Amino acid sequence: MAEKQQNPHMELDPKYDHYDFPTTAPEPRPGHPGHTTKEQDAAVHQLRMMLEQAGYTERLDTLTMLRFLRARKFNVEHSKQMFVDCEKWRKEFGGGVDNLVRTFQYTEKPQMFAYYPQYYHKTDKDGRPLYIEQFGKIDLEKMRQITSDERMLQNLVVEYEKVADPRLPACSRKAGYLLETSCTIMDMKGVGLSKAGQVYGYVQKASAISQNYYPERMGKMYIINAPWGFSSVFAVVKRFLDPVTVAKIHVLGGSYQKELLAQIPAENLPSEFGGKCKCPGGCQLSDDGPWQDPNFAKPAKWEQPQSIPATESHTGEGQPATGETKPATQEQPAGQTAPAAQ
Protein backbone atom coordinates (compact mmCIF):
# COMPACT_ATOMS: atom_id res chain seq x y z
CA MET A 1 0.00 0.00 0.00
CA ALA A 2 1.19 3.51 -0.76
CA GLU A 3 1.08 4.68 2.84
CA LYS A 4 3.44 1.88 3.78
CA GLN A 5 6.19 3.05 1.44
CA GLN A 6 9.32 4.40 3.06
CA ASN A 7 9.74 8.15 3.09
CA PRO A 8 12.90 8.93 1.07
CA HIS A 9 13.35 12.27 2.83
CA MET A 10 13.13 12.81 6.57
CA GLU A 11 10.45 15.31 7.48
CA LEU A 12 12.20 18.04 9.44
CA ASP A 13 10.62 20.41 11.92
CA PRO A 14 11.94 23.97 11.40
CA LYS A 15 11.41 24.74 15.08
CA TYR A 16 13.75 22.03 16.34
CA ASP A 17 15.74 20.58 13.44
CA HIS A 18 18.77 22.71 12.61
CA TYR A 19 21.34 20.06 11.79
CA ASP A 20 24.74 20.83 10.33
CA PHE A 21 25.53 17.22 9.43
CA PRO A 22 23.93 14.51 7.25
CA THR A 23 20.56 13.24 8.48
CA THR A 24 20.00 10.11 6.36
CA ALA A 25 21.04 6.74 7.79
CA PRO A 26 23.27 4.66 5.48
CA GLU A 27 21.16 1.51 5.66
CA PRO A 28 17.41 1.36 4.92
CA ARG A 29 16.43 -0.02 8.30
CA PRO A 30 12.82 0.55 9.44
CA GLY A 31 12.34 3.60 11.62
CA HIS A 32 15.75 5.08 10.91
CA PRO A 33 16.14 8.62 9.55
CA GLY A 34 15.45 8.78 5.83
CA HIS A 35 13.79 5.35 5.89
CA THR A 36 10.58 5.97 7.80
CA THR A 37 7.01 5.18 6.85
CA LYS A 38 4.23 7.75 6.93
CA GLU A 39 2.94 6.07 10.07
CA GLN A 40 6.33 6.46 11.73
CA ASP A 41 6.50 10.12 10.69
CA ALA A 42 3.08 10.60 12.24
CA ALA A 43 4.33 8.99 15.46
CA VAL A 44 7.16 11.55 15.59
CA HIS A 45 4.67 14.41 15.30
CA GLN A 46 2.35 12.85 17.88
CA LEU A 47 5.15 12.26 20.39
CA ARG A 48 6.50 15.79 19.98
CA MET A 49 3.03 17.31 20.35
CA MET A 50 2.36 15.31 23.53
CA LEU A 51 5.67 16.41 25.03
CA GLU A 52 5.09 20.04 24.09
CA GLN A 53 1.67 19.91 25.74
CA ALA A 54 3.36 18.52 28.86
CA GLY A 55 5.68 21.53 28.98
CA TYR A 56 8.84 20.15 27.38
CA THR A 57 10.79 22.43 25.06
CA GLU A 58 14.22 20.81 24.66
CA ARG A 59 15.55 17.74 22.82
CA LEU A 60 12.41 17.49 20.71
CA ASP A 61 14.29 17.27 17.40
CA THR A 62 13.34 14.56 14.94
CA LEU A 63 16.45 12.39 15.37
CA THR A 64 15.93 12.26 19.14
CA MET A 65 12.21 11.53 18.76
CA LEU A 66 13.00 8.65 16.40
CA ARG A 67 15.56 7.14 18.79
CA PHE A 68 13.07 7.09 21.65
CA LEU A 69 10.38 5.69 19.40
CA ARG A 70 12.64 2.92 18.09
CA ALA A 71 13.60 2.05 21.66
CA ARG A 72 9.92 1.45 22.43
CA LYS A 73 8.92 -0.15 19.12
CA PHE A 74 7.08 3.02 18.06
CA ASN A 75 4.63 2.81 20.94
CA VAL A 76 4.08 6.55 21.42
CA GLU A 77 2.84 6.33 25.02
CA HIS A 78 5.77 4.17 26.08
CA SER A 79 8.19 6.44 24.23
CA LYS A 80 6.72 9.47 25.96
CA GLN A 81 7.17 7.87 29.38
CA MET A 82 10.77 6.98 28.56
CA PHE A 83 11.45 10.56 27.51
CA VAL A 84 9.76 12.01 30.62
CA ASP A 85 11.74 9.68 32.89
CA CYS A 86 14.91 10.64 31.04
CA GLU A 87 14.29 14.37 31.43
CA LYS A 88 13.63 13.92 35.14
CA TRP A 89 16.93 12.09 35.49
CA ARG A 90 18.76 14.74 33.45
CA LYS A 91 17.47 17.46 35.76
CA GLU A 92 18.57 15.61 38.90
CA PHE A 93 21.80 13.80 38.00
CA GLY A 94 24.95 15.63 39.01
CA GLY A 95 23.06 18.87 39.58
CA GLY A 96 21.73 18.74 36.01
CA VAL A 97 23.30 16.99 33.02
CA ASP A 98 23.21 20.09 30.80
CA ASN A 99 25.29 22.00 33.34
CA LEU A 100 27.48 19.00 34.19
CA VAL A 101 28.75 18.57 30.62
CA ARG A 102 29.80 22.23 30.54
CA THR A 103 31.59 22.30 33.89
CA PHE A 104 32.86 18.78 34.72
CA GLN A 105 36.64 18.40 34.90
CA TYR A 106 37.95 14.83 35.31
CA THR A 107 41.43 15.85 36.43
CA GLU A 108 42.11 12.44 37.93
CA LYS A 109 41.61 10.73 34.56
CA PRO A 110 45.29 9.77 33.94
CA GLN A 111 45.51 8.18 37.40
CA MET A 112 42.19 6.40 36.96
CA PHE A 113 43.23 4.87 33.66
CA ALA A 114 45.87 2.82 35.48
CA TYR A 115 42.96 0.89 37.01
CA TYR A 116 40.17 1.33 34.49
CA PRO A 117 41.02 2.37 30.91
CA GLN A 118 37.88 3.60 29.11
CA TYR A 119 38.26 5.83 26.09
CA TYR A 120 37.18 6.85 22.59
CA HIS A 121 39.71 6.36 19.84
CA LYS A 122 39.25 6.94 16.11
CA THR A 123 36.58 5.05 14.14
CA ASP A 124 35.54 1.69 12.73
CA LYS A 125 35.12 0.96 9.01
CA ASP A 126 31.58 2.34 9.07
CA GLY A 127 32.89 5.64 10.44
CA ARG A 128 31.49 5.23 13.96
CA PRO A 129 33.43 6.30 17.06
CA LEU A 130 35.37 3.42 18.56
CA TYR A 131 34.93 3.03 22.32
CA ILE A 132 37.20 0.79 24.40
CA GLU A 133 36.88 -0.43 27.99
CA GLN A 134 39.37 -2.70 29.77
CA PHE A 135 37.97 -4.37 32.85
CA GLY A 136 40.89 -6.57 33.85
CA LYS A 137 42.70 -3.79 35.73
CA ILE A 138 39.71 -2.67 37.78
CA ASP A 139 40.49 -2.29 41.47
CA LEU A 140 37.64 -0.40 43.08
CA GLU A 141 39.43 0.08 46.40
CA LYS A 142 42.40 1.78 44.75
CA MET A 143 40.10 3.71 42.42
CA ARG A 144 38.14 5.06 45.38
CA GLN A 145 41.36 6.42 46.83
CA ILE A 146 41.64 8.56 43.70
CA THR A 147 38.01 9.42 43.03
CA SER A 148 34.46 8.53 44.02
CA ASP A 149 31.84 6.29 42.45
CA GLU A 150 29.75 9.40 41.88
CA ARG A 151 32.48 11.11 39.86
CA MET A 152 33.09 7.94 37.87
CA LEU A 153 29.44 7.88 36.81
CA GLN A 154 29.48 11.63 36.15
CA ASN A 155 32.44 11.15 33.83
CA LEU A 156 30.54 8.34 32.09
CA VAL A 157 27.55 10.63 31.51
CA VAL A 158 29.71 13.51 30.29
CA GLU A 159 31.31 11.16 27.76
CA TYR A 160 27.84 10.06 26.59
CA GLU A 161 27.00 13.72 26.03
CA LYS A 162 30.20 14.25 24.05
CA VAL A 163 29.37 11.25 21.88
CA ALA A 164 26.11 12.95 20.88
CA ASP A 165 27.96 16.21 20.28
CA PRO A 166 30.67 16.71 19.02
CA ARG A 167 31.80 13.15 18.18
CA LEU A 168 28.90 11.73 16.16
CA PRO A 169 28.25 14.92 14.15
CA ALA A 170 31.95 15.08 13.18
CA CYS A 171 31.92 11.40 12.20
CA SER A 172 28.73 11.96 10.16
CA ARG A 173 30.31 14.87 8.29
CA LYS A 174 33.36 12.78 7.45
CA ALA A 175 31.34 9.71 6.41
CA GLY A 176 28.80 11.71 4.40
CA TYR A 177 25.83 9.98 6.08
CA LEU A 178 24.19 9.97 9.50
CA LEU A 179 25.93 8.07 12.28
CA GLU A 180 24.10 7.66 15.58
CA THR A 181 25.94 4.78 17.22
CA SER A 182 29.38 3.70 18.44
CA CYS A 183 31.44 0.55 18.03
CA THR A 184 32.47 -0.84 21.41
CA ILE A 185 35.28 -3.14 22.50
CA MET A 186 34.92 -4.58 26.00
CA ASP A 187 38.16 -6.27 26.97
CA MET A 188 37.64 -8.84 29.73
CA LYS A 189 41.29 -9.90 29.91
CA GLY A 190 42.29 -10.47 33.52
CA VAL A 191 38.75 -10.61 34.84
CA GLY A 192 38.75 -13.62 37.13
CA LEU A 193 36.36 -14.67 39.85
CA SER A 194 37.94 -12.29 42.36
CA LYS A 195 37.15 -9.26 40.18
CA ALA A 196 33.92 -10.44 38.63
CA GLY A 197 31.73 -8.92 41.34
CA GLN A 198 33.42 -5.52 41.04
CA VAL A 199 33.32 -5.52 37.26
CA TYR A 200 29.77 -6.73 36.78
CA GLY A 201 28.44 -4.45 39.50
CA TYR A 202 29.83 -1.38 37.77
CA VAL A 203 28.76 -2.60 34.34
CA GLN A 204 25.23 -3.01 35.66
CA LYS A 205 25.11 0.62 36.84
CA ALA A 206 26.62 1.91 33.61
CA SER A 207 24.29 -0.23 31.51
CA ALA A 208 21.24 1.08 33.36
CA ILE A 209 22.20 4.65 32.46
CA SER A 210 22.88 3.85 28.82
CA GLN A 211 19.74 1.76 28.30
CA ASN A 212 17.34 4.07 30.10
CA TYR A 213 18.68 7.48 29.11
CA TYR A 214 20.75 7.05 25.94
CA PRO A 215 18.66 4.78 23.72
CA GLU A 216 19.77 3.50 20.33
CA ARG A 217 23.45 4.35 20.76
CA MET A 218 25.01 0.90 20.39
CA GLY A 219 26.11 -0.06 16.89
CA LYS A 220 28.30 -3.10 17.48
CA MET A 221 29.87 -4.53 20.61
CA TYR A 222 32.81 -6.91 20.75
CA ILE A 223 33.40 -8.63 24.08
CA ILE A 224 36.95 -9.95 23.77
CA ASN A 225 39.02 -12.21 26.02
CA ALA A 226 35.75 -13.43 27.49
CA PRO A 227 36.52 -15.54 30.58
CA TRP A 228 35.64 -19.19 30.85
CA GLY A 229 31.93 -19.67 31.29
CA PHE A 230 31.00 -16.20 30.03
CA SER A 231 29.56 -17.51 26.76
CA SER A 232 27.29 -19.87 28.68
CA VAL A 233 26.07 -17.07 30.90
CA PHE A 234 25.48 -14.81 27.92
CA ALA A 235 23.56 -17.56 26.14
CA VAL A 236 21.08 -17.45 29.02
CA VAL A 237 21.00 -13.65 29.31
CA LYS A 238 20.39 -13.03 25.62
CA ARG A 239 17.09 -14.87 25.81
CA PHE A 240 15.79 -11.84 27.70
CA LEU A 241 17.30 -9.27 25.33
CA ASP A 242 15.76 -7.82 22.21
CA PRO A 243 16.91 -9.81 19.13
CA VAL A 244 18.05 -6.55 17.52
CA THR A 245 20.36 -5.93 20.49
CA VAL A 246 21.63 -9.52 20.55
CA ALA A 247 22.62 -9.27 16.88
CA LYS A 248 24.94 -6.36 17.74
CA ILE A 249 26.90 -8.26 20.41
CA HIS A 250 29.82 -10.56 19.52
CA VAL A 251 31.38 -12.61 22.32
CA LEU A 252 34.93 -13.62 21.46
CA GLY A 253 37.70 -15.40 23.31
CA GLY A 254 41.41 -14.74 22.95
CA SER A 255 41.46 -15.19 19.17
CA TYR A 256 39.55 -12.06 18.34
CA GLN A 257 41.96 -10.10 16.10
CA LYS A 258 40.59 -11.32 12.75
CA GLU A 259 37.01 -10.37 13.60
CA LEU A 260 38.02 -7.01 15.06
CA LEU A 261 40.12 -6.14 12.03
CA ALA A 262 37.20 -7.01 9.76
CA GLN A 263 35.30 -4.14 11.39
CA ILE A 264 38.09 -1.75 12.43
CA PRO A 265 40.93 -0.49 10.18
CA ALA A 266 44.30 -1.71 11.45
CA GLU A 267 45.62 1.87 11.53
CA ASN A 268 42.76 2.83 13.89
CA LEU A 269 42.99 -0.15 16.25
CA PRO A 270 45.47 0.19 19.14
CA SER A 271 48.42 -2.16 18.76
CA GLU A 272 47.65 -3.99 22.00
CA PHE A 273 44.52 -5.36 20.31
CA GLY A 274 46.29 -6.43 17.13
CA GLY A 275 46.12 -3.14 15.25
CA LYS A 276 48.87 -0.77 14.11
CA CYS A 277 48.00 2.41 16.00
CA LYS A 278 50.53 3.73 18.51
CA CYS A 279 49.49 7.26 19.44
CA PRO A 280 52.20 9.47 20.97
CA GLY A 281 51.60 9.36 24.70
CA GLY A 282 49.33 6.35 24.31
CA CYS A 283 46.01 5.75 22.58
CA GLN A 284 44.14 5.84 25.89
CA LEU A 285 44.58 9.59 26.35
CA SER A 286 44.74 10.79 22.74
CA ASP A 287 40.97 11.13 22.08
CA ASP A 288 41.93 11.05 18.41
CA GLY A 289 39.17 11.01 15.83
CA PRO A 290 37.23 13.14 13.33
CA TRP A 291 36.05 15.27 16.25
CA GLN A 292 39.64 16.55 16.48
CA ASP A 293 39.96 17.19 12.74
CA PRO A 294 39.25 20.83 11.78
CA ASN A 295 37.83 19.60 8.47
CA PHE A 296 34.94 17.92 10.29
CA ALA A 297 34.89 19.19 13.88
CA LYS A 298 32.66 22.01 15.05
CA PRO A 299 32.13 23.35 18.58
CA ALA A 300 29.53 21.36 20.48
CA LYS A 301 26.17 23.07 20.88
CA TRP A 302 26.47 22.76 24.65
CA GLU A 303 29.61 24.89 24.48
CA GLN A 304 27.67 27.80 23.02
CA PRO A 305 25.94 30.49 25.12
CA GLN A 306 22.46 29.58 26.26
CA SER A 307 19.47 31.87 25.98
CA ILE A 308 18.37 30.94 29.50
CA PRO A 309 19.91 28.85 32.30
CA ALA A 310 19.46 25.12 31.73
CA THR A 311 17.72 24.74 35.10
CA GLU A 312 14.91 27.07 33.94
CA SER A 313 14.25 25.38 30.64
CA HIS A 314 11.73 22.94 32.06
CA THR A 315 9.97 22.76 35.39
CA GLY A 316 8.34 19.38 35.07
CA GLU A 317 5.55 17.65 33.19
CA GLY A 318 2.45 19.77 33.02
CA GLN A 319 4.41 22.89 34.05
CA PRO A 320 5.51 24.89 31.01
CA ALA A 321 9.02 26.25 31.07
CA THR A 322 9.59 29.79 32.21
CA GLY A 323 10.98 32.12 29.60
CA GLU A 324 11.49 31.44 25.94
CA THR A 325 14.05 28.86 24.96
CA LYS A 326 16.31 28.91 21.97
CA PRO A 327 15.28 26.26 19.41
CA ALA A 328 17.42 23.15 19.54
CA THR A 329 20.12 23.30 16.91
CA GLN A 330 21.56 19.86 17.41
CA GLU A 331 20.44 16.49 18.54
CA GLN A 332 21.23 16.44 22.25
CA PRO A 333 19.73 13.23 23.49
CA ALA A 334 18.24 13.03 26.83
CA GLY A 335 21.79 12.07 28.38
CA GLN A 336 29.03 4.81 24.70
CA THR A 337 29.64 4.06 25.74
CA ALA A 338 29.35 2.34 27.40
CA PRO A 339 28.29 -1.13 28.00
CA ALA A 340 25.03 -2.32 26.59
CA ALA A 341 23.77 0.98 25.28
CA GLN A 342 20.66 0.11 23.32
Describe the strand order of the beta sheet including 218-224 as a list of residue ranges. Answer: 118-123, 129-134, 182-187, 218-224, 249-251
* Percent helix, percent strand, percent coil in the chain, to nearest 5: 45, 10, 45
Determine the residue type at 130.
Answer: L
Show me where the domains of the chain are located: 9-92, 110-299
Find out whether 263 and 220 touch, Cβ atoms under 8 Å. Answer: yes
Which comes out higher in pLDDT, residue 42 or 231? 42
**Candidate from 58-67, 110-119, 260-269, 326-335 with smallest mean pLDDT:** 326-335
Percentage of the chain lying above the pLDDT 70 cut: 81
Find out whether 22 and 48 touch, Cβ atoms under 8 Å. Answer: no
Find out whether 288 and 121 touch, Cβ atoms under 8 Å. Answer: yes
9-92 CATH: 1.10.8.20
**Candidate from 95-104, 161-170, 300-309 with smallest mean pLDDT:** 300-309
Percentage of the chain lying above the pLDDT 90 cut: 63
Which comes out higher in pLDDT, residue 70 or 342? 70
Nearest C-alpha neighbor of 168 from the set 214, 108, 116: 214
Tens of pLDDT, residues 89-131: 999 999 999 999 999 999 999 999 888 899 999 999 999 999 9
Find out whether 300 and 98 touch, Cβ atoms under 8 Å. Answer: no
Please give the pLDDT value at position 337.
37
Please give the pLDDT value at position 141.
81
- Average of pLDDT values for 249-270? 95
Please give the pLDDT value at position 191.
77
* Radius of gyration, alpha carbons of the chain: 20
Segment holding 7, helix H or strand E: strand 6-7
What would the DSSP string read from start to end of 222-267? EEESPPTTHHHHHHHHGGGS-HHHHTTEEE--S--HHHHHHHS-TT
Buried b (16+ CB within 10 A) or exposed e, 137-171: bbebeebeeebeeebbbbbbbbbbbbbbbbbbbbb
CATH class of 110-299: alpha beta
